Amino acid sequence: MFTLAEVASLNDIQPTYRILKPWWDVFMDYLAVVMLMVAIFAGTMQLTKDQVVCLPVLQSTINSKAQPSTSGKADFTTVETTTGQGEEASMRTVSFGSAPTVTPDVPLSRATSPQYQPTESSQELKKEQKDSSGRKTNLDFQQYVFINQMCYHLALPWYSKYFPYLVLIHTIILIVSSNFWFKYPKTCSKIEHFVSILGKCFESPWTTKALSETACEDSEENKQRLTGAQSLPKYVSTSSDEGSPSASTPMITKSGFKFSADKPMIEVPSVTILDKKDGEQAKALFEKVRKFRAHVEDSDLIYKLYVGQTIIKTFKFIFILCYTANFVNTISFEHICNPKVEHLIGYTQFECTHNMAYMLKKLLISYISLICVYGFICLYTLFWLFRIPLKEYSFEKVREESSFSDIPDVKNDFAFLLHMVDQYDQLYSKRFGVFLSEVSENKLREISLNHEWTFEKLRQHVSRNAQDKQELHLFMLSGVPDAVFDLTDLDVLKLELIPEAKIPAKISQMTNLQELHLCHCPAKVEQTAFSFLRDHLRCLYVKFTDVAEIPAWVYLLKNLRELYLIGNLNSENNKMIGLESLRELRHLKILHVKSNLTKIPPNITDVAPHLTKLVIHNDGTKLVVLNSLKKMMNVAELELQNCELERIPHAIFSLSNLQELDLKSNSIRTIEEIISFQHLKRLTCLKLWHNKIVNIPSSITHVKNLESLYLSNNKLESLPAAVFSLQKLRCLDVSYNSIAVIPVEISLLQNLQHFHITGNKVDVLPKQLFKCVKLRTLSLGQNCITSIPDKVGQLLQLTHLELKGNCIDRLPATLGQCQLLRKSGLVVEDHLFDTLPLEVKEVLNQDTSIPFANGI
């Protein structure tokens, strides 16, 4: 027989699952345990003490009841035989009608002897009945055992014999039905995951932190109304000023659950700064809750399974009650047994007693009572399941009691699990709601961020950029640390990939801040902070993927000087950019747009009166509509790069104030329109590099004011003499073409300071080149030059000379006459430098503090 512990193991569930067992499930579990005890107790009693005791019903008794008096003609005969002196009869023969039955122990001759007289036998029987205390049946022990076993199976009702086993089976079915949703593979994994997350959320220090902050808020608000000092519980602490936003920062909301304090405390320790490990665990919990919600809210399998098992238990209760109630009256102490074993025993009827009858009847009544209670609880469970929509769960009460107004309502299995938890303890779901709130998550990120990025750590990340300005670059953080705004001497602040960036009022302390970079960072700005940026910010970089990432306040910075927009802005989305708001940028001087425009937005003319520089960098998209350029009358610098232009746009010729034009990385093949530049009297710099220009028209001579001409990375094969008629030319770059000869007319460029002809096919350097005595930079690398004339020493202002990649055998000693040339500015192979005389090398190796410029 199995033990109670072995059967009770079917009802075992993980202790953590208890939070999903409401009171009725717990009560039914206890009822099931009691029913198990009833079954096992009844089974034990049946196996050890259950028995039936039977006695034969004597025929004389039956006949005496049927015939009170007998005549001489009666067929009833009682025969008593003796063996030896004083020996009693060993057996009786009882017969009915004409078919007598003779005991096997009495010989036939003596039984039928004429000396045997019925009258004498009757007298002896009466004498015996007077002398003995009971009737003798003349059955031996084995016959009694046999008839007891026969009558146990024939006379007892089947329910009396199988009652313990039926109770055990029914109870096991009820136990399995109650806990099947914990064992079913498709639900147990979700339940296990939910219970695990719920327990961690309940015990998380961040939950206590969130609750404590709201409690602190309530304590301050009710301080004047309440009598007596009220404070937080011991595990609750107030926030320090460093970890929580000030009252002047409306965008940073305070979050937490509100509850009243029980005991006053004079001082509460602060837990504003969480332990780093606790902060990371809380962050992981937010992510787990988010993924679990997305996974569980898609189905209602857990709800359906729980409803199904409850219905099964209800039907089981009705079934058990219906058939069990009929057997209460069948259990009795006395039973009449009529086994068909007369040829073995000699009797046809027995009267039996069942010693366990009264116990079984009481146990059965007890079992029926337990089943009734169990059934009523099942009916109540069904009423609860269908009384309210359990597939919807609202945190409305939590939202009202706390500052977490963004806690969303949940549905399906997620909602049902929370309803079940509420039956255990509503505090679980309230604490769980902390991890459903984005406000709470943002607050956690803020506290963890401020704990990690202290003022000292931020100071170590401050560097100086090329413009010798103090710069701080923050990359892929959860927010902007508060300590950033304590760096009052910062000039440039770069925020990259910070999706929840908030700029508080503390930024007004950064009086030196003039440049701000927002790279994929849709920052939110408080009103006070916006007022400061509007008045002080001079340069703003906004890099984005979608137009919606551009903060609306960008177009309201009235003192902004430079605006850089880098992102996807095709012509269909121009209206979404909000360029109409550019009219508020009254002091904007530089507008840089790096995108995929097919036309220049017409609304850009809003800033035309004061815009001096316009830069459009496309990603290879062809810019076809340029009519808006005609209205940019004050633009001095214009860059149209990588716009797939095939000719110089005619709209450019209307820009009378244009000083610099850059058409880099287009598909321009001819520049015949260059003659129209003669009307642009202020044009001094023309950049046509990285195109497909084959020749330079002679009409370039009409652009007399050109000082810089960039024609590198084209397909030029020669330099026309017209180029050398530009007397004001100071920089000429024709690198990476196919030019083979430097014309002697180059000597006409007396103002030439920078000449680049790297990556061509030049093999001879004309002596006239060295008459350009103002040359500072001379790039002759990657050509076919075999020698350098000694006249190079005439270039007294030369600071940079590139000769690497040629066929030169030696360097002229006259390089020592170039007073400003140093080894750092001489780009040659090492073995060529070694060919110089020692005194020349010493001169070139000297340090100099004389500054020089490589550009204009």
Do the beta carbons of residue 500 and residue 478 sit within 8 Å?
A: yes
Q: pLDDT higher for 285 or 63?
A: 285
Question: Is residue 282 classed exposed, middle or buried when 0-12, 13-18 and 19+ CB atoms within 10 A define those classes?
Answer: buried
pLDDT at position 59 is: 66
β-strands 754-756, 777-779 pairing: parallel
Q: Where residue 14 falls among pLDDT bands split at 50, 70, 90?
A: low
pLDDT at 85 over 70: no
Tell me: the pLDDT tens digits for 676-720? 998 899 999 999 999 999 999 999 999 999 999 999 999 999 999
The encoded tokens of residue 332 equal: 């009795």
Worst-scoring range by mean pLDDT, 132-146, 442-456, 475-489? 132-146
pLDDT the model gives residue 436: 85
SS3 state of residue 731: strand
Amino acid 360: pLDDT: 86
Q: Give the pLDDT score at 244.
A: 37
- pLDDT tens figures, 187-220: 888 888 888 888 888 888 777 776 666 545 544 4
Homologous superfamily, domain 716-848: Ribonuclease Inhibitor (3.80.10.10)
Q: Report how far residue 78's alpha carbon sits from residue 80's, in angstroms, rounded to the nearest whole number.
A: 7
- Rg over CA atoms, the chain: 54
Q: Residue 81 CB: number of other CB atoms within 10 A?
A: 20
Residue 71: what pLDDT?
38
pLDDT interval class at 803 (50, 70, 90): very high
Residue 848 reports pLDDT greater than 80 = no
Q: Where are the domains of the chain?
A: 4-57+155-187+309-388, 461-588, 590-684, 716-848
pLDDT value at 350 more than 70:
yes
Residue 269, pLDDT above cutoff 60:
no
467 Cβ contact partners less than 8 Å away, ≥ 6 residues apart: none
| pLDDT exceeds cutoff 60 at 665 | yes
pLDDT surpassing 60 at residue 599: yes
pLDDT over threshold 80, residue 117: no
pLDDT at residue 336 is higher than 90: no
Of 141 and 466, the structure prediction assigns the larger pLDDT to 466
Sheet strands side by side (includes 52-56): 52-56, 350-354, 334-337
Task: Report the pLDDT value the prediction gives residue 847, as an integer from 0 to 100.
Answer: 67
**Rounded mean pLDDT of 224-237?**
37
Average the pLDDT over each of 83-92, 456-465, 694-703, 820-829 and give the range with the smallest value. Answer: 83-92
Confidence of residue 755 (pLDDT cuts 50, 70, 90): very high
Q: What pLDDT, on the 0 to 100 scale, is given for residue 514?
A: 92
Residue type, 126: K
Q: Which residues of 753-775 are buried (b: 16+ CB within 10 A; e: fewer)?
A: bbbbbbbbebeebbebbbbbeeb
Spatial separation of the C-alpha atoms in residues 459 and 487, rounded to whole Å: 8
In three-state secondary structure terms, 261 is coil
DSSP 8-state secondary structure symbol assigned to residue 675: G
- Decide: helix, strand or coil at residue 662: strand
Instruction: State the Cα–Cα distance between residues 780 and 782, nearest whole angstrom.
Output: 7
CATH no., domain 4-57+155-187+309-388 = 1.20.1440.80
Report pLDDT digits (tens) over 544-575.
887 778 888 998 898 999 999 998 876 454 44
User: 23-75: per-residue pLDDT in tens?
Assistant: 998 999 999 999 999 888 888 888 888 778 888 887 655 554 444 443 333 33
Confidence band (pLDDT; 50, 70, 90) for 163? confident
Q: Please tell me if the domain spanning 4-57+155-187+309-388 has the same topology as the one spanning 716-848.
A: no
Q: Domain 590-684: which CATH class?
A: alpha beta
Q: Among 2.40.30.270, 3.30.420.40, 3.80.10.10, 3.30.300.130, what is the CATH number of 461-588?
A: 3.80.10.10
For the ranges 204-218, 401-415, 633-647, which has the lowest average pLDDT?
204-218
Higher-confidence residue: 661 or 6? 661
Strands (E), 204-333: none
